[in-house]
Chain A
């Protein structure tokens, strides 16, 4: 079994995640799609690590998981804050940073 299949799967997952981020308006779903993209990256890292017989890729995957966990905390915190203020859960309407 070659590494190709894993990489193709990773690319498909990444494309799905990126598409979700671009298309969906709910911040919660965007967060889920971001997770999907990160884990697609993880999959590629682990696959290449196995293929090259080198553990460094797996270590990187672990670090990415830590970063992902942090990002989820911040992201969910933001969503909860938006919800509590009764603001619309729609990223197109949250435009306070317009230049």
Chain B
């Protein structure tokens, strides 16, 4: 049976970030609250107007309870999906179904992390693996490095092609005043960066920042009234293949392939119709793998596809237009930031980095170690007949 999705029946009417970079003195919930009230205010709403809440944070497993209490609300729909960085796309897909069913009217999805100020590194709340820990893996970096090594072996992908991903992200970041890393990055800088886990140096790895994000989702009828440039949910699907990298069936094919196939079918689109792609680039190889998985280039051609600035500003396919996890922000779980950027590109509020005439934007989430992959297709009012 083909999975159904209420295409165009719900929309993201507001999307905001807060505290990207280093934001000492704020807890994860403080940051998430700032992003939430900022998003709600974009459409004249307050926390008390929210009756559906989805949140997940690194440092509190019962975060829906804490955050509802913090905002002073008693939601009738709650979701605390916890699949790592893909949690938010999955939350959006569940929210769309709950909204469509009438179980709630206004859903807030929020995230916040103080990991840079609090710990200075990725906080892990996942238990160590007895099958991996004795070999001293540098998780999650070494897991992605193994995938990169395998892709290079199978398809001839080069270190310089990985570098093209980092350079493109940095070029986009230089157009984003909120981005953490805005200095010029050259191929020479990239190649000279300290090695961490072959083939990765530090410029292949995402940042460790603070930051928060929030989006507000509601049914299309009210969305149209509140925001004439809302981002409509056209399709949403996810796929999980494993938890530990040794159990990943094929290190060069992620669950994104199946998720994108289903989400694109729900949205009734093909890859050439996509105007911007916001991928979860925790590491440079991610961008290459996910572009292949989504069908933007043939399998194995991702490295060659990203060469010569194809995904940078002015390239054939705008990818990670906020600067991505590599150069904009990566506060533990980055998934909601791809949704904010995809929504804002459709809303047309991205300033210098705005891509002209965005009708279809893809927001992608990646959780664990290429383990949980989620794809959300967003469309402008044109795509649902509300132009």
Decide whether A and B assemble into one complex: no
